[in-house]
Amino acid sequence: MAHEFNNISLIGKFQSADGAETVLDLARYLRERGIEPRIEQGTANAIGEAAQDFAAIAYEKIASEADLAVVIGGDGTLLNAARCMGARAVPLVGVNLGRLGFLTDLPRANARRQLGEILDGRYCAESRFMLDAEVMRGDERIFHTLALNDVVVNRGNLGRMIEFELRVDGEFVYTLRSDGMIVATPTGSTAYALAANGPILHPGVSGIALVPLCPHALSARPVTLPDTCCIEIVLMPPHDARIHFDGATYCDGRAGDRLRVVRSPLEVRLLHPEGYSYFAMLREKLHWSAAMSRI
C-alpha cells in the first residue's frame, strides 16, 4: 500500500526526557515502516547525539515540505507548531506527554499503534480556525501574530485592575474595569477561558468567545460572537497591560493602544485516531459522569 504520508517530521517538547525518548522511538518506528523521518532542528538539538541518526529540519521546511507532522508533548507544544506552520495546513498528529491534552490525543503508551493506524489511512480529520491579532499604537502596527487558542489582555505586573473599551465591528459595546479579557476560539474554549468560567464551544461552532477576567461588574458575562466579527479592545488611560497570544508570545501594551482580533483565513488540520469523539474526549479530560467519591 502506498503511503499517503511520505514526508513526516517529528516535533518534540524541549528539555523533556520523556519527550526525547518518545521522539526517538517513533523515529525508529517510522524507519521500520520504510519512511525516513526528519526531526525538527530545535528538537534534535535538545535531544543531542542520539538524534544524529536522523536528519534535522527547520520549521520553515516542515511547513513547505512535510505531508505530516507528529507533535510529541502537550497542547502547548502543538500550539507552537501550529503557529510556526500557520501559512500551510500541514496535518498535525499530537502525542500527549502533558497533563490534559485536549489537542494531543494519542497516549504515549499507544503512540506506535495509533500512529500506524493513521499512516494506514484509518483516521478522522478536522480543521480548526485561528485568530489573526494585531496591536496598533496610533497608526503604527507594533505587533502581529496568529493564535489557535486565545488572545488574552491582562493587567501584567500591575497589582490593580485595568480599564478598557470593547468594540465589535466598530460598534461600542462597553467600558470595563477588570483583570482583563480572553478572546478565545472554540479550540481555546477548553483552555484559559474554561478556567475563567467561559463557555465550551464545539469545534464545529463558528464563534469566538469573549470572557472577562474578574470583572468589577456582576453583569459582565461571557459572550459568544460570530467568527465574522472584528473585535477591538482599547486600553484606557492611565492603564498599561500585557497582551498574550496562546500563552507563548506577548506584547506590552500602553494606554491608548488598540488590540484588533479577527478570524484568520488560515486553519490548522488535526488528525485523530479512528473513532475519535469530541464528547468522549471532554468526558475523559473533565471527568464528566465520574462517580462521586464517598465522604
Active site residues: 75
Q: How many CB atoms lie within 10 A of CB 73?
A: 27
DSSP string covering 78-135: HHHHHHHTTTS---EEEEE-SSS-SS--EEGGGHHHHHHHHHTT-EEEEEEEEEEEEE
Q: Shortest CA distance to 51 belongs to which of 85, 18, 28?
A: 28
For residue 146, give the 3-state DSSP assignment: strand
CA–CA gap between residue 258 and residue 136 (Å, rounded): 5
CA–CA gap between residue 138 and residue 141 (Å, rounded): 8
CB–CB of 165/233 below 8 Å?
yes
Question: Amino acid identity, residue 134?
Answer: E
Q: Shortest CA distance to 215 belongs to which of 199, 238, 198?
A: 198
Strand partners, 75: none
Q: How many CB atoms lie within 10 A of CB 99?
A: 8
